[in-house]
């Protein structure tokens, strides 16, 4: 099965479970894929606004090892308030429906 079909089927199943009342969004843990780069000789701290996306937070950062990646991600997640997580979780149904409408095609949100 290809990625497009898999994406479509998973989103269809999750949206149907939610409609039947068999899925509570607040119990879902999710993460988006992000690419991180290693080997940056010039590390620096960066100020960011609350609610800024992880993509923006990680932009142009490079790491020397997995431990640095984990520490940076821990700092990102610890800096967010509950509204950030609640908003992201409750957007899931709309994202699933967009995947279903596009028959599994990738789309930017």
CA gap 97, 102 in Å, rounded = 9
Could you tell me what percent of the chain has a pLDDT over 90?
2
Could you tell me what percent of the chain has a pLDDT over 70?
72
Return the axis-axis angle of helices 82-90 and 92-101, rounded to nearest 10°.
Answer: 30
The answer on pLDDT for 109 being more than 70 is no
pLDDT tens, position by position, 21-70 = 888 776 665 555 555 555 544 444 554 555 567 777 777 788 888 888 88
What is the arithmetic mean of pLDDT over 60-86?
84
Cβ-proximal residues to 98 (8 Å cutoff; 6+ apart), any chain: 107, 109
**More confident: 79 or 38:** 79
Domain ranges of the chain: 3-36+46-101
> Which residue matches tokens 């990680």?
58
């Amino acid at each position: 099965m290809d990625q497009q079909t898999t994406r479509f089927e998973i989103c269809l199943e999750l949206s149907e479970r939610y409609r039947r009342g068999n899925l509570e969004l607040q119990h879902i843990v999710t993460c988006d894929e992000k690419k991180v780069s290693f080997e940056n000789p010039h590390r620096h701290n960066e100020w960011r606004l609350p609610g800024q996306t992880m993509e923006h937070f990680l932009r142009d950062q490079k790491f020397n090892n997995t431990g640095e990646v984990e520490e940076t991600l821990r700092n990102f997640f610890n800096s967010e308030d509950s509204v950030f997580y609640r908003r992201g979780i409750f957007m899931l149904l709309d994202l699933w429906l967009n995947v279903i409408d596009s028959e599994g095609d990738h789309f930017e949100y």
